[in-house]
Amino acid sequence: MKSRFLVTATLILSLGLSLNPVYGAPTSPASVMPTATIENPALDFTLVNRTGYSIKAVYIGASGTGDWVKEDEVLKGRTFRNGTSLDITFHPRATAEEWDIMVEWSDGSGREEWLALDLTEITKLTLVYDEKRDVTSVIIE
């Protein structure tokens, strides 16, 4: 469901850009509207695994687009080991600001989700596990 949304949104965006005759045309300073400063416009970030456990799947999809699907999974059969990091790079046409992330543990003990992460404001996410409280959380930078 999420991937269909992304494909549809990308198709609509690319059609809109190709049909717009002023796309890419220079603008005069007077026509530029002020906007809020976005720290991470490319949405790219680094994901760090400091949980003490290996992860077999990492799903990333735009918030509110439905169930997790195979196309959302970024490891593609690799294992995301404890103590390692993973650079997540988005397609240039990805436009959603809020994204959901879900991980599945290699030992089969379940999964964890973090919803509505504003990736325009995030450059690094570190996954940590507190064994005493049995809680996995994310540190946002």
What is the pLDDT at residue 130? 96
Q: Which CATH architecture describes the domain 2-140?
A: Sandwich (2.60)
pLDDT digits (tens, 9 = 90+) for 6-21: 433 333 333 333 333 3
| C-alpha span between 114 and 32 (Å, rounded) | 35
Interatomic CA distance for residues 59 and 122, integer angstroms: 17
Model confidence pLDDT, tens digit, residues 66-77: 789 999 999 999
**Would you list the domain boundaries of the chain?**
2-140
Q: What predicted TM-score, i.e. pTM, was given to this entire model?
A: 0.71
